Amino acid sequence: MTDKADVWQGTLALMVLKTLETMGSLHGYGIARRIEQTSGELLSVNYGTLYPALLKLEQEGYIASEWGVSDNNRKAKYYKLTRAGRKQLEKEAQDWEQTTAILARFLAPSEES
């Protein structure tokens, strides 16, 4: 049985933005669970990392929040993607595609050997 890995440095914001684009408004626990589920339960979201990331995304204007009531009738802060967040998601997704393409060049078998 494999242990869950922590979310990779620099990818949490992208995963949060994509989750909110896909799922709509969610509270922090819902965002964390969706990221874990989407990873096939291979990633573990640390709440001590998630909530500061949500605060930062909100301060940057990429997400907005409002208080609501969760499924289990508890007060919860719900987050949603803003127009600026959609643009940022597009930019970060393109950056990630470029980064993975560069890394793939390093991991591919060398033609010079």
In whole angstroms, what is the distance from residue 85 CA to residue 79 CA? 11
Give the fold, CATH level 3, of 5-107.
Arc Repressor Mutant, subunit A (1.10.10)
State which H helix or E strand residue 6 sits in: strand 5-6
Q: Whose CA is closest to 85, among 54, 60, 49?
A: 60
Going by the DSSP 8-state scheme, the letter that residue 71 receives in this structure is T
| Model-wide pTM > 0.85 | yes
Q: How do the pLDDT tens digits run along the chain, 113 residues long? A: 457 777 776 799 999 999 999 999 999 999 999 999 999 999 999 989 999 999 999 999 999 999 999 889 999 999 999 999 999 999 999 999 999 999 999 999 876 64
Q: Where are the domains of the chain?
A: 5-107
